[in-house]
Structure 1
Amino acid sequence: MEKTWEQLQEYQPLVLKMVENSLRKNRVAHAYLFEGSRGTGKKEVGYLLAKSLFCQQPKGYRPCNDCTNCRRISSGNHPDVHYIEPDGQSIKKWQIQALQEEFSKTGVESNRKVYLINHADKMTTNAANSLLKFLEEPTSQTVAILLTEQIHRILNTILSRCQVLSFQPLAPKVISERLIDEGISSTMASLVAHITNNLEEARELSEDTWFGQSRSIVLQLYEVIHTRPTHAFFFLQDQWLPHFKEKEQLSFGLDILLLIFKDLLYIQLGDEEKLIFHDQITSFKQHALTTSTRRVSDQIAAVLEAKRRLYTNMNPHLLMEQLVIKLQEGYKLV
């Protein structure tokens, strides 16, 4: 789905403000480096900037998204907008040289040319050196947009020639609304938006059957701990451990469990608008009445400690058994 300036401005207000200022003052840089985690809109903003430079019917500095040029840029068919990404594991020298050759020619439809290099940190040394020569001798009508998730791997000599724009992690509300717009249920959208601040990962999790089952299993464990504590270890053995086999999977499980206890705390503090498990509100309210804010806080601390110990040499089975014991203490003391 094509994103408008207004939508991207909601996701990355500071970045869009800087791009807007450049366009308004006609001070577009010769080279930009968009850096930030995956799924924060770097490529989308890159294409939006390209459209602003080529749009035939701009609304001020904003592209119309509907003219021939805008549509061709969206589909990757504009002759003066070039997109490069790794050939296998890296961006090779020949890719940069081919780009230089292309740019040595006169523009097909104008003198302006734009190129986007995705995963710029994956350039080979030779490719990076070739690009550096390119950046050192920019033509007035050429704009380079480099995209990276790992700015520390970009050569300082390249960094110094780029205007760096940092893309911030997306807020849960933004991710949730975006997923709901795409047809994801509000229940799942709210959960994944609090599991990751990466839009692409959130989208993948929301469509992952395994993750959907994870939500159900974590809720079941919570219910067992609360209502049938003597069955908790059996549940770990029969349901939890066979599902959360890898450490990364177990980390997701602990993240979901953490959000359950946070919901209990929100209920106790009267912040119900922050709830994530909207479909569990009735039972959560009942549970919140049977324990204190201090005990829920202790349970949150226990889950966080388990998360920390997960990536030591701790045995996952023993880790979960010890966590369950700590979580049950809060209820036994009521």
Structure 2
Amino acid sequence: MEKTWEQLEEYQPMVLKMVGNSLKKERVAHAYLFEGSRGTGKKEVAFLLAKSLFCTNKQDYRPCNDCVNCRRISSGNHPDIHMIEPDGQSIKKGQIQALQEEFSKTGVESNRKIYIINHADKMTANAANSLLKFLEEPSSQTVAILVTEQIHRILNTILSRCQVLSFKPLLPKVISEQLVNEGISTTIASLIANTTNNLEEARRLSTDAWFGQCRSIVLQLYEVLNTRPADAFFVIQDKWLQHFKEKDQLSFGLDILLLVYKDLLYIQLGDEESIIFHDQVVKFKQYALQTSSRRISDQITAIFEAKRRLHTNMNPHLLMEQLVIKLQEGLKLV
């Protein structure tokens, strides 16, 4: 579904404000560089800007998303908007040269032309140098939009010729609300939103059976630690290490376990709005009464330490056993 200006404004208020001001004052830059992590809306805003420049039914400067031009841009069929993607692993010189040749012609329907280079950091050195020449002689009717997740890999000479707009990671609340709007339960949406700030990744996790099992195994380990501590090692052996096999998976499992202990702190602080495991509140309140804030802080520290040691080539089985011992210490107030 196409995002409206208002929807993208919720995700990236500063970016949309700057783009909006440029459109209002009719001072659109000849070259932009949209940079930020994956899933923050860079490409969507690039197409939104293109629509704003071609829309025949704008509300002030905002595109209608429904006129012929807006629909053609959405479907990738507007003749005066050109998109360049990596050809294999890189964007090659020939692709930039073909673009320059295309832009030397008169626009099909107007004098304005827009080109969007996705993953601009993947340009070869020759491609980047060809683009640089293109940027040095801008046409007043040409707008370039470069999109990248790796701004440090863009030539300084190209950066200096672009207006750089930085896209911030999405807030958990924004991701959670979007997932709920797409039919994901509040419980799952809240957990996913606190494990990634990437909306695309969040959507992938929402349909991933492996992720669904993560939650179940983490909660099982936590409950066993509180009710049958001696069985915790069996859960580690039979469930945890069988599911979290790779280092990044194990780190992910620890991230979810961390959220459990954070929920206990929120309960003790009376901040129930921040709780992530909504369906576990009754149980968590019982556990929270049996321990102290200091102990929970120590347990959170132990999990952070386990994550750190995970990347020192420590044996995962030994790491988890040692973590379980630390988490078991002082579970109840004396």
The TM-score with structure 2 as length reference comes to 0.99
- Taking the aligned partners of 2:6 and 2:269, their CA distance within structure 1 comes to 35
Q: Which residue of 2 aligns with 1:180?
A: 180
Q: Which residue of 2 aligns with 1:100?
A: 100
Q: Which residue of 2 aligns with 1:18?
A: 18
SS at match of 1:331: coil
Q: Contact 2:292–2:333 at 8 Å: present in 1 too?
A: no
- Taking the aligned partners of 2:192 and 2:308, their CA distance within structure 1 comes to 21
- Deviation per CA, 1:70-112, whole angstroms, max 9, x where unpaired? 0110110100011111111111111111111111110000000
Q: Map of 1:70-85 to 2, 5 A cutoff?
A: 70-85=70-85
Residue 332 (structure 1) shift: 5.2
Q: Which residue of 2 aligns with 1:290?
A: 290
Q: Which residue of 1 aligns with 2:322?
A: 322
- Tell me if 1:129 matches 2:126: no
- Deviation per CA, 1:116-139, whole angstroms, max 9, x where unpaired? 111000001111111111101111
Q: Contact 1:299–1:330 at 8 Å: present in 2 too?
A: no
Q: How many residues align?
A: 334
- Taking the aligned partners of 1:95 and 1:187, their CA distance within structure 2 comes to 46
- Taking the aligned partners of 1:69 and 1:109, their CA distance within structure 2 comes to 11
SS at match of 1:210: helix
- Deviation per CA, 1:27-63, whole angstroms, max 9, x where unpaired? 0000000000000000000000000000000000100
* Structure 1: gaps (5+ residues): none
Q: Which residue of 1 aligns with 2:234?
A: 234
- Taking the aligned partners of 2:135 and 2:274, their CA distance within structure 1 comes to 47
- Taking the aligned partners of 1:257 and 1:48, their CA distance within structure 2 comes to 39
Q: Which residue of 1 aligns with 2:246?
A: 246
Q: Which residue of 2 aligns with 1:156?
A: 156
Q: Which residue of 1 aligns with 2:306?
A: 306
Query: Which amino acid in 2 is paired with 1:251?
Result: S
Query: Which amino acid in 1 is paired with 2:178?
Result: R
Identity %: 82
Q: Contact 1:55–1:70 at 8 Å: present in 2 too?
A: yes
- Taking the aligned partners of 1:205 and 1:25, their CA distance within structure 2 comes to 41
Q: Which residue of 2 aligns with 1:42?
A: 42
SS at match of 2:330: helix
- Deviation per CA, 1:167-219, whole angstroms, max 9, x where unpaired? 00000000111111112221111111100111111111121111111110000
- Deviation per CA, 1:257-304, whole angstroms, max 9, x where unpaired? 000000010000000011100011110111111111111111111111
- Taking the aligned partners of 1:85 and 1:312, their CA distance within structure 2 comes to 37
- Deviation per CA, 1:141-164, whole angstroms, max 9, x where unpaired? 000000000000000110010000
Q: Contact 2:291–2:332 at 8 Å: present in 1 too?
A: no
* Structure 2: gaps (5+ residues): none
Root-mean-square deviation over aligned CA pairs:
0.8
- Deviation per CA, 1:222-263, whole angstroms, max 9, x where unpaired? 011111000011111111101100000001100000000000
Q: Which residue of 1 aligns with 2:113?
A: 113
Q: Which residue of 2 aligns with 1:52?
A: 52
Q: Contact 1:296–1:330 at 8 Å: present in 2 too?
A: no
Query: Which amino acid in 2 is paired with 1:62?
Result: R
Displaced runs of 4 or more, over 4 A: none
Residue 333 (structure 1) shift: 5.1
Query: Which amino acid in 2 is paired with 1:228?
Result: R
Q: Which residue of 2 aligns with 1:225?
A: 225
- Tell me if 1:139 matches 2:127: no
